[in-house]
Structure 1
């Protein structure tokens, strides 16, 4: 007698909701933990720029175009189309947004035109990849190259000779209105100036996100949860995602796969075009050639970091925007202080991966004991390092006691780890073997230096991109059919 192994929708739905709830809480907990860690580094190192209101506002300014480009990539790749052409579509958004805002003297006309310009680039990419079956990478690179040349030609036609304009830039553009709560800054001024751990940082965060925000920034922030609701909580989103996972099965159920792919790629271009408008009219007040600066590619990196989900994408965009904000504001000391945070993150990641390997090899009871000691090891090592740093720089004597206790706990946990290491080494991922020594090197780097070279500070966003992608590579789960050519009726 055959056994029915199918799962009913009624039983599958609660499980799906539970996984979704866990995923949302995981993103929230990671974001809160990152902010608390950043506040701790600010309190230890005395670098107020790390969490100041100005840094928060600059982070938003740099994160929004990256996030919009990442949302464009998410929509396209969830439908199975790789959109390397996001950079070119952002270029289209910058130029068309600037031209129509200048012509009509209205920022809203520029926003609409920029979005439509990006959608036109998305339409070209959709025709090439979906209709004619052109390789996705080839089509995207072609759009990037053609967009730059075409916008240069149009600038020569329309901007050269205009007051303040030229072959590589537009005249002055009208600005979008800004919104905020003006009384918040004054009310939270005492808390911001107190320097108290987490209190001053939270006050700066509130002031930075409620003062002088452009309406385009607010719209862009709202697009992330809206994307989540549409793609994961509507029949339209389910069908669109099915086109990226298994288009043959979707076609067999009556889903018009070509239509959904076209829709996703065109909307992808619209998001990128909106990011271009932000660069030309919010982050700046003129269109300039080369204004995108590779943010379309960084947006794709943020999307990959976020594992093709809006919450993770927003975290990735915030990370890249934060490092950008620090280096643009001249925060060399703040970037140096981040070495401490990076070292702690690498060491904790290595310990967690070791604990997971021990769990697979020794069972739950052994895992519980060893994981607890590993946690003590991580905390002890961090306390030892931080206590030593503060004591060397003239801290109170009680820091030496904390340092000694942390070092003793670290030694005890290290002995336990060495004892159980042979059984876990076989299942330990390669990234753990890289993260642990890298964390030690970064920690020694921080303790042995007072500042970073200016060139390294300038390229800190790109270094952060490489580090994040390297550490996240083993947990990525892209749509199953992304990047593959699909033809109707070939199931």
Structure 2
């Protein structure tokens, strides 16, 4: 046997290069964010940054945005842009309030889902069957839903409010809430540990306290739906077929996939998620129903989905970021001012890392990318100077935080996004791509 043959049969030497798996990378990022947030809290003395109360408010603000984002994910993975999430959430708020008043909060949740599904059906008929532009249909649905819920509130809730001495005709308060629960022992221990303000340890305790103290069963259900969405869309045959409709519907049809049926199912599920998000606003986030209660959260959910690159994990991160910024209006100015330092640190770290990666490429595309990543460093310097040169953040600016965060995050994340190839395209059965 020749030496060449012997070398060919010799087993490959194990590589010594360290590889970080996707899960390990996520855990490292989470740990880095936690440590940096704790460091900012200790340096600035802004203990409300991640106190149990702050995180509880952020979780409550995150859930309706996450439900809207999941609704957008279902629709757009099937190739249908659902700008109508805002309108479907509005329908869900009214449906939840009406059925809760006459029955109970669990029937109210189903009512919110049902009204969201109706909104999804209208959008599906317009876009999938009649080929209306997806953006036009969604915007029209939002306008109709706002007017319709205002009319229904005046028609059905005005007398109820007058009978019980409540507010005006465009609201319905005093609704029963779904059950919540507290984990005995763990809840008290976590809250006590969080109050000690220890580095990292108290921050971890705050997270534990939030998920073990007076947490709504609907909140738990939201994260169950997130896991179910990830499993169904990426681990089942149905999910594969649905995603193929958003990538190449003509090829999917040639393989026997019912493209129109899958699009309809996806948009109906999308509407149901958005309707549940509206029900969450009326029954969990607040003490009742108000007209225009969503206040743009459907659009923010759509932005969270785009930021998350049309994937469940990214959707969760984006929704959490927007939910946290949405809850900042409840915090004191010192806490918001301290967050400027946290944002500046991560913009500088991310910008430096991306500039380093882009500088190692010699192509023209790499040089253009290098020029684009410098913007992150500039933004980081701006936030750092803002923190160093000021003592507080104007209260009026705080209410704009979710919308400013939406614009900034989408602007910086645009280069790495990849939407489904057939997203937003008008599809006709039997058409050739």
- Could you say whether these structures have the same fold, taking a TM-score greater than 0.5 normalized by the shorter chain as the test? yes
- CA RMSD of superposed structures (Å): 1.9
What residue is the counterpart of 1:386 in the other structure?
Answer: none
Structure 2 Cα separation of the partners of residues 130 and 429 of structure 1: 41
What residue is the counterpart of 2:86 in the other structure?
Answer: 87
1:305-342: CA deviation from partner (whole Å, max 9, x where unpaired): 100011111111111111122222x3211111111111
Deviation at 1:427, TM superposition (A): 4.7
1:322 lines up with 2:320 in the alignment: no
Contact map agreement 2:347 2:377 (CA 8 A) in 1: yes
**Secondary structure class of the residue paired with 1:50:** coil
CA gap of 1:190–1:177, structure 2 versus 1, over 3 A, is closer
CA gap of 1:83–1:215, structure 2 versus 1, over 3 A, is same
Structure 2 Cα separation of the partners of residues 292 and 323 of structure 1: 16
Deviation at 1:429, TM superposition (A): 3.3
1:487 lines up with 2:424 in the alignment: no
Structure 2 Cα separation of the partners of residues 77 and 129 of structure 1: 12
Deviation at 1:361, TM superposition (A): 3.5
- Name which structure has the greater RCO, CA cutoff 8 Å, separation 6+: 2
What residue is the counterpart of 1:342 in the other structure?
Answer: 343
1:215 lines up with 2:156 in the alignment: no
Deviation at 1:435, TM superposition (A): 1.5
Structure 2 Cα separation of the partners of residues 270 and 22 of structure 1: 35
What residue is the counterpart of 2:375 in the other structure?
Answer: 434
CA gap of 1:189–1:260, structure 2 versus 1, over 3 A, is closer
Residue-pair matches, total:
410
1:210-266: CA deviation from partner (whole Å, max 9, x where unpaired): 110111111012111111001000001000000000001100000000000000000
CA gap of 1:178–1:465, structure 2 versus 1, over 3 A, is same
What residue is the counterpart of 1:470 in the other structure?
Answer: 411
CA gap of 1:235–1:22, structure 2 versus 1, over 3 A, is farther
Contact map agreement 1:49 1:55 (CA 8 A) in 2: yes
1:143 lines up with 2:84 in the alignment: no
Structure 2 Cα separation of the partners of residues 175 and 80 of structure 1: 36
What residue is the counterpart of 1:419 in the other structure?
Answer: none
Note the 1:57-72 alignment, pairs <5 A. Answer: 57-72=56-71
Note the 1:35-114 alignment, pairs <5 A. Answer: 35-104=34-103, 106-114=104-112
1:459 lines up with 2:400 in the alignment: yes
**Secondary structure class of the residue paired with 2:285:** coil
Structure 1 Cα separation of the partners of residues 151 and 192 of structure 2: 53
Deviation at 1:69, TM superposition (A): 0.3
Note the 1:39-438 alignment, pairs <5 A. Answer: 39-104=38-103, 106-162=104-160, 163=164, 164=166, 166-328=168-330, 330-361=331-362, 426-438=367-379
1:410-460: CA deviation from partner (whole Å, max 9, x where unpaired): xxxxxxxxxxxxx99835434322122221222122112111111222212
**Secondary structure class of the residue paired with 1:354:** helix
**Secondary structure class of the residue paired with 1:287:** strand
The farther-off stretch of 476-485 and 188-197 is 188-197
1:123-145: CA deviation from partner (whole Å, max 9, x where unpaired): 11001000000000111011101
Contact map agreement 2:245 2:263 (CA 8 A) in 1: yes
Deviation at 1:119, TM superposition (A): 0.4
The farther-off stretch of 454-463 and 63-72 is 454-463
1:188-216: CA deviation from partner (whole Å, max 9, x where unpaired): 34422322210011111100121101111
What residue is the counterpart of 1:450 in the other structure?
Answer: 391
Runs of 4+ in 1 over 6 A off after TM superposition: none
**Secondary structure class of the residue paired with 2:177:** coil
Contact map agreement 1:159 1:171 (CA 8 A) in 2: no
CA gap of 1:103–1:425, structure 2 versus 1, over 3 A, is closer
CA gap of 1:233–1:199, structure 2 versus 1, over 3 A, is same
Deviation at 1:22, TM superposition (A): 4.5
Deviation at 1:175, TM superposition (A): 1.1
Deviation at 1:23, TM superposition (A): 4.5
Deviation at 1:50, TM superposition (A): 0.7
Unaligned runs of 5+ in 2: 1-18
Structure 2 Cα separation of the partners of residues 55 and 183 of structure 1: 21
**Secondary structure class of the residue paired with 1:152:** helix
**Secondary structure class of the residue paired with 1:462:** helix
Structure 2 Cα separation of the partners of residues 190 and 83 of structure 1: 44
Structure 1 Cα separation of the partners of residues 22 and 430 of structure 2: 36
CA gap of 1:80–1:28, structure 2 versus 1, over 3 A, is farther
Structure 2 Cα separation of the partners of residues 485 and 425 of structure 1: 34
Structure 2 Cα separation of the partners of residues 267 and 27 of structure 1: 29
TM-score by length of 2: 0.91
Contact map agreement 1:102 1:171 (CA 8 A) in 2: no
Structure 1 Cα separation of the partners of residues 242 and 39 of structure 2: 42
